[in-house]
Structure 1
Amino acid sequence: MKKYASLAIVASAALALSACGKSDDASEAAAEDTVEMPADELPAMEPSAAAAPMAPVVDASAAADAEANAVRDTANNAAAVAAAAQAAADEGEDPQTPAQ
């Protein structure tokens, strides 16, 4: 008799759990969860002080341009030093190296 009682309890528990389950049927239409609202209708709120600041957006082209500008400036400086050294050599003076 205990076996039948245990079997009945287990069967009823299995049916109860399966009745509580959620069905993700693909044939059901999807409902949109978000609501869009124009920015001027949003409630005025101060940003939370506890919220983490947003990370800046890195623009790869700006970083590449900055690197190219640095290389160009270095090349221009080297050319200016070489021209100054050549001019000093032409005049017979000792060329001075720039302090770094």
Structure 2
Amino acid sequence: MKFKSIALVASTVAFMTLGACSESEEEAQEDLVEQQYESAEDVLEEQADLAEAQGSEVQEEALDAQADAMGEMGDEAEDAVDAAQ
């Protein structure tokens, strides 16, 4: 599971780096920050789904809460990048 998560994050970062070539530096930075947090949030949500499928409701709820927090942190980081511009 860790390999899949790491591969997902690495591929997302690679694609964002390639996509950033045609954008301004500020837009690229904002997109990168957003994608990093979204990727981490997605991984946590997948882990929560797995925990639910395995019958671990407590672990599923904890992972969902972490995913929600990651989403909020991503929004805050994106706002910070916007404010810095």
Fold equivalence (TM over 0.5)? no
TM range (shorter): 0.3 to 0.5
**Higher RCO structure, 1 or 2 (CA under 8 Å, sep 6+):** 2
CA radius of gyration, larger in: 1
TM-score with structure 2 setting the length: 0.38
